Chains A and B, each alone.
Chain A
Amino acid sequence: MSTASTTPARSRDRSLLGTIIHQPYIWAVVALVLLLVINLVKDPGYLGVAVNPTTGNLSGNLIDLLRASAPVMMIAVGMTLVIATRGIDLSVGSVMAVSGAVSMEFMSNAGDGSVGTALAAAGLALAISAGLGAINGVLVSIVGLQPFITTLITMLAGRGLAKVITAGQNTSATNEPFRWIANGTVLGFPVVFVIAGVIVAIVAVFIRRSALGLMIESIGINPKAARMAGIRPIGILISVYVVSGILAGVAGIFSVASVMTVEVSKTGLAAEMDAILAVVIGGTSLAGGKFSLTGSVIGALLIATLDKTIVFLSIPSEATPAFKAAVIVVICLLQSQRVRALFARRRAKAAPTDPGAGSPRPTAPRKESVPA
């Protein structure tokens, strides 16, 4: 808080630093930097990125981080849109498993390792993921079921579907083009990260450069008012769940492509929790309304970094959830009104003449700025 307490005056002249510091995801950025510093203390060469002279590929821990964060980033972006409409999508982990199962089963049956097979497998997986998302969307918007319970049903059924598709087996396949998605590089960067970055950029431009983002937010803030303002919720709700399904499908392809095996009961397990975590860390409220795609991407990076750091510090990876819990609790406390009020009171006492200091969220409206 010591950095924030010096900024109210500066934030009024809209300096870049002031804008960033008052973003809802500032604490995620702080935590991310903190984790990288911890790694740096353990190994001073941690952040080094080497260029392979023969292939031109970049290698290093940071590159591994980008690779690992891609699947979480995908489901977190989809989850952000769903949560912004006051919904939640618990089914993303199961959809990942279905997508992985479909693509692996298709490729192991097709047998040839051609590019066409890989594309067909990915296309089929994404189509089925979109279908599952559409089921969620229809049940939520037209039938009017609660998102929590709707997606709980598709989560249970989806996991079962993945197992039925592969007859309960962990199916593997060989297909070099498909494997390239996870292990290949473009201009030295991992393909998964490039794909993820492009998809995030497309979603961000589509949502923020059109009125779609505003409509999603208005449904989340007040569904009744949104309807009276002429926004038809059904189409928008179905589309956000379909987008969430497709992105979960992409994440499923990412996560099975690196090992070319789908573990039907493990692929994407508890991924929905990671995604929800990334969204909340990124400053989007689970109550819906205003959302921040940049925040969710940073949240996804933070989760991937946390996973990697725990392995790097040679703490058993099973203990990771405890550290995630610590991060959630700390960030939720920092975002909570009670703690903010406490800090605000202190600041007001320290500088009673500063008019901007008393308000806990001086730049809340600026959240509308277009995220990358």
Chain B
Amino acid sequence: MSALIERPTSGPSDPSDPSGPAGGPHRTLLSRLSRLKPNLETLPTLAAVVIFIAMIVYGEVAYGRIVQFNTISNLFINNAYLIILAVGLTFVILTGGVDLSVGAVIAISSLVGVMLANAGWNPIVVVVLMILIGSAFGVASGVLVQYFNVQPFIATLAMMFLARGLASMLSTTPERLGDDSPLRSLSTEITVINGTKINDLVVTPNVLIAVLVVAVAAFVLHRTRLGRTVYAIGGSESSALLMGLPVVRTKLTVYVISGTLAGLAAVVYTSKLGIAQNITGVGWELDAIAAVIIGGTLLTGGAGFVLGSVVGVLVLGLMNVLITRDGSIPPEATTIITGGILLVFVLLQRLVVSRKRKT
């Protein structure tokens, strides 16, 4: 870890840096590395990757059976919905906002979805409707934030209360999706590599959806105007405005993206579990925010990566696996460990930011 932190001190601008005027066979690799160096924003994300790998190594040494197909497959299958949520929140947090409503949006969207599916609606219509419910809450938050200058925290808190309250009006008992419902086909396990015994590499359509979401989000953030505007707003909203960027439209868009992805996460979660309840998703917004921050996105906005958020989700997911495997850690202490990990990452980010100010 210390090596990682030391690295940026000798940037390519430093004339005494031996790696600067690099030639010979390592040229491409070195030039790539030197391109990374000044970009301090990548450091927290790199740290997350390092910690994830360290957790895998530790788990494999201490408990065994971590680096194998079925553990890895389950990690993705169980966390597909959280990956989708974290991707949505990455957009919002990059602009310097926050979306607290995603957990409650999942509750109402999955409840509506299960009830309509059980009432015999066409599954495609149900899925589209579930996603649109998310979008609608996103639009509402975005309008409150952008047109009425309500702080993002309060606006999305209001949407969280609204979604949770409406879900509770629909039903307060668990609603079960019919066993023959086509919605469940989204969680069909497809064996990619048939390993020994139960050690198969398995994916579900849900995982594929999550991967697709990550890919599209990464493309949008790094290769489109919308993405650049998102980063610009997070860096400095007034500068973005002065540069003539469409700040108003973009800020509204990020909340719509976050809401829509919450609706999609509801589809993924419902198809996997088959049960929806008004208390589904309590506190998931905090899990997703934690994942985004562990993944290296600054809460003040302007710096971060979608792939980092995915690593953040995997760190949290793997931590739960390790705690279960260990057995000696009481389950009550899980949130203490989550808090501790979060603290480590935030301190690291703090270090990076203060270094950046000095240079």
Contact partners of B169 in chain A: CB under 8 A: 316, 318-319, 322
Which residue of chain B lies nearest to A94 when distances are taken between CB atoms in the complex?
A: B335
A161 beta carbon closer than 8 Å to chain B: yes
Taking a contact as CB atoms closer than 8 A, the residue among A152, A164, A286, A326 that contacts B290 in the complex is A152
- Assembly CA distance A146 to B153 (angstroms): 14
Q: How far is the CB of A154 from chain B (nearest CB, A)?
A: 7
With a cutoff of 8 Å between Cβ atoms, the chain A residues found around residue B299 in the complex are: 146, 148-149
Determine whether the beta carbon of A332 is less than 8 Å from that of B158. yes
Q: Contact between A321 and B168 (Cβ–Cβ < 8 Å)?
A: yes
A149, A154, A163 — most chain B CB neighbours (10 Å): A149
Asked whether B168 lies within 8 Å of A319 as measured between CB atoms, the reply is yes
**Chain A nearest CB, measured from B170 CB (Å):** 10
Within 8 A of A (CB), among B130-174: 144, 147-151, 153-155, 157-162, 164-166, 168-169, 172
Instruction: Report the Cα distance A266→B92, complex, angstroms.
Output: 29
B289–A325 CB distance below 8 A: no
B148 near A316: Cβ-Cβ < 8 Å: no
Q: Which residues of B contact A143 (CB under 8 A)?
A: 347, 350
Knowing A143-B350, A148-B299, A332-B155, the reply to whether A157 touches B162 (Cβ < 8 A) is no
- Give the interface size bracket for B toward A: 35 or more
User: A318, B172: Cβ atoms under 8 Å?
Assistant: yes
Given the contacts A88-B153, A164-B336, A318-B168, A339 and B159 also touching, CB distance less than 8 Å: no
Cβ of A325 and Cβ of B172 under 8 Å apart? no
Question: Is the CB of A186 closer than 8 A to any CB of chain B?
Answer: no
Say which residue of B98, B148, B165 sits within 8 Å of A323 (CB atoms): B165
Instruction: Out of A145, A159, A338, name the residue touching B346 (CB < 8 Å).
Output: A145
Residues A149 and B150 in contact in the complex (CB < 8 Å), given A160-B332, A160-B333, A164-B336: no
Q: Which residue of A lies closest to B101 (CB)?
A: A325
Measured CB to CB, the closest approach of chain B to A173, in angstroms, equals 19
Contacts of A146 in B (CB 8 A): 299-300, 346
Among the listed B157, B331, B337, which residue makes an inter-chain contact with A168, where contact means beta carbons less than 8 Å apart?
Answer: B331
Which residues of B have CB within 8 Å of A319?
165-166, 168-169
The answer to whether the Cβ of A156 comes within 8 Å of any Cβ in the partner chain is yes
Flag whether A362 is at the interface (Cβ < 8 A): no
Which residues of A have CB within 8 Å of B150?
332-333, 336
Q: Output the least CB separation between B101 and chain A (Å).
A: 10
| B334 at interface by CB-CB < 8 Å | yes
Complex: A277 Cα to B157 Cα, angstroms: 9
**Other contacts beyond A161-B336, A163-B335: 11, CB < 8 A:** A148-B299, A152-B290, A153-B339, A157-B339, A157-B340, A160-B337, A276-B154, A316-B172, A326-B162, A328-B154, A332-B150
Sample (19) of A-B pairs whose CB atoms are under 8 Å apart: A144-B350, A145-B346, A156-B286, A159-B335, A160-B333, A161-B336, A164-B333, A277-B157, A286-B151, A318-B278, A321-B162, A322-B169, A323-B165, A328-B158, A329-B144, A332-B150, A333-B148, A338-B149, A339-B148
Q: Which residues of A pack against B, CB within 8 Å? A: 88, 139, 143-146, 148-150, 152-157, 159-161, 163-164, 167-168, 264, 273, 276-277, 280, 285-287, 316, 318-326, 328-329, 332-333, 336-339
